[in-house]
Amino acid sequence: MDIRGEWEDYVENYGAWSGYGKYTNILEITLKGNKFYGFRMKSDKYHMAGSMAIRGKLDKNGIKEVQLISSLGPLDAKGQISENGNEIIIDDGQRVKLTLIRK
């Protein structure tokens, strides 16, 4: 699946990170072979424009592995691409969930 391009990024912090709240950004996802990288296109209250937000690997079933790149370092997470390829959910299961909507 081709996930390259611009995505609306909705970040929801929960659990121990609930104090960081909710915010949005725009990610540009690039592919190099089966590896993908998502970079923030604008600065938000915690990250600079151009910084990496996600990285991972794809396989024939979708997202094989993914990490959320936080100010405190990478977080292993699980990712799911919708059937139509226009939404991606990435969640570490304890602190933060990203919902990406294709622009």
Reported as a single tens digit per residue, the pLDDT across 49-83 is 999 999 999 999 999 999 999 988 999 999 999 99
Query: Under a CB-based contact definition with an 8 Å cutoff, are residues 53 and 26 in contact?
Result: no
What is the C-alpha to C-alpha distance for residues 83 and 63, in angstroms, rounded to an integer?
A: 12
pLDDT value at 39 more than 90: yes
Question: What is the band of 1 on the pLDDT scale with cuts at 50, 70, 90?
Answer: confident
Tell me the pTM: 0.95
Average pLDDT for the chain: 96
List helix spans (H) across 4-94. none
- Residue 18, SS3 per DSSP: helix
What is the C-alpha to C-alpha distance for residues 61 and 49, in angstroms, rounded to an integer?
A: 31
